[in-house]
Amino acid sequence: MKGLGSGSGVQLRSMPIANLCVVGGCGHVGLPLAMAFARTGISVVAFDINPVAVDLVNGKTMPFDEPEAPAILSQIIDAGLFRASTDPAEVAKADAVIVVVGTPVDEHLNPDTQAVPDAVAALVPYLRDDQLLVLRSTVYPGVTRLVEERLAAHGMKTDVAFCPERIAEGKAFTELYSLPQIVSGRNASAVTRASELFGLLTDSIVETTPEEAELAKLFTNTWRYIKFAAANQFYMIANEHGIDFEKVRHAITFDYPRAYDMPGAGFAAGPCLFKDTMQLAAFNNNNFFLGHASMMVNEGLPMYLVDRMDRRFELKNLTVGILGMAFKAESDDIRSSLSYKLRRILRYKAANVLCTDPFVTTDPNLVPLEEVLAKADVLVIGAPHSAYRTLKPKQAVVDIWNLLGNGVLV
């Protein structure tokens, strides 16, 4: 990665795009991306409608955990290359605009196909014909074309590209530079300009059509979700017969390349995998039995664990402690975390439930680890934070991650 490094100053570069605006630029995806581009020496503004997040960022404080980010944020702000704003007029000043907004599914598991088009529509008064507009959000297939059509209906000739985000949370400042970037567009100008832009971060560009890129993103997340469901189903089968799935998995994967990528059991959660599997199902008129079966397995794992715990411990008179409420290890992100689903079920089954997490600061109901260890009769590891790895609790521990190395039987 070239540009702003550990040397004495900023290396400004001759490039077609000198000013960039990232819409949704203070979120988990938008902010690391905006910061990475600022490190290359171009001027970047993170536009976001959340004034609290904007103030934090301008004050050199990350609104969420991301390794390496605090030092980088301070550096690029001091260099005058980066700032955050709630003013949509910043969009008009940019040579390129990257849109990063959430694309949720509703309570009926239907995708919100209008989230990205509506966000772009709100930007129309500020967009220019000569700009590059990059859609970075995961989108329902066909949304890129819908955005193009709506911009054309406004008489605009903006270049539109779809370049899906590919990083794993917590690895942004490694994977933004190391992973190939998928770039798609309807015309050569959009593809060329988007390739030049993302070429500032990585030397590996994969060019596709927008529809191919849209499916590539959904297939990627859905494939991971299905793999996790297969592992979780295997875990349940083994567990029902008193066999430790982790020992079986070790036998399968040890020096055996055709099964090396079989994951362990655990909560398949977070803001992307489940949602994108449901988007893909909706795109295929809900004719996606494998995806729906995966949802039933992964979303059903907390209920399965509670049922097994209740059979083993008779929970009605016990206090259960949940260690880790984030959706993944070493994260403060609780979006779609199955630890919270586990807590809801346990509140019905157990006498009391105490929860803790060393990273999560937004939940006032969490208590210190020491209190959970002192008061709980049974423990469940909800998120496999490394801080729990060295614990030697006196209580029984339900550890589907095998974090403590004692197996995964319940």
Residue ranges and CATH numbers for the domains of the chain are: 19-211 (3.40.50.720), 220-398 (3.40.50.720)
**Whether the Cβ atoms of residue 225 and residue 268 lie closer than 8 Å to each other:** yes
Q: What is the pLDDT of residue 94?
A: 97
Q: Distance between CA 364 and CA 179 in Å, rounded?
A: 37
Average pLDDT over residues 311-328: 97
Q: Is the pLDDT of residue 392 over 90?
A: yes
Give the pLDDT score at 16: 65
pLDDT value of residue 131:
95
> Residue 106's pLDDT is what?
80
Q: What is the pLDDT of residues 337-356, one digit of tens each?
A: 999 999 999 999 999 999 99
Torsion sign across C-alpha atoms 293, 238, 389, 302: positive
Q: Return the half-sphere exposure (C-beta side, CA atoms, 13 A cut-off) of residue 136.
A: 28
pLDDT in tens, 20-79: 999 999 999 999 999 999 999 999 999 999 999 999 999 999 999 999 999 999 999 999
| Higher local confidence (pLDDT), 15 or 410 | 410
pLDDT in tens, 267-318: 999 889 999 999 999 999 999 999 999 999 999 999 999 999 999 999 999 9
Report yes or no: 389 and 403 within 8 Å, Cβ to Cβ: yes
Instruction: Please give the sequence-ordered ranges of beta strands (E in DSSP) within 48-108, or none if there are none.
Output: 82-85, 96-99
What confidence tier does 112 reach under pLDDT thresholds 50, 70, 90?
A: confident
- Is 182 in contact with 220 (CB distance < 8 Å)? no
User: Between the CA of residue 393 and those of 19, 307, 400, what are the distances in Å?
Assistant: 54, 22, 16
pLDDT tens string 223-248: 999 999 999 999 999 999 999 999 99
Using the predicted structure, report yes or no on whether residue 1 has a pLDDT greater than 50. no
374: enclosing H helix or E strand: helix 369-375
pLDDT value at position 13? 35
- The distance from CA 103 to its chain's CA centroid, rounded to whole angstroms, is 12
Which residue pairs from 7-16 have beta carbons closer than 8 angstroms and sit at least 24 positions apart in sequence? Answer: 10/41, 10/79, 10/81, 11/41, 12/41, 13/40, 13/41, 13/42, 13/200, 15/42, 15/196, 15/200, 16/95, 16/193, 16/196
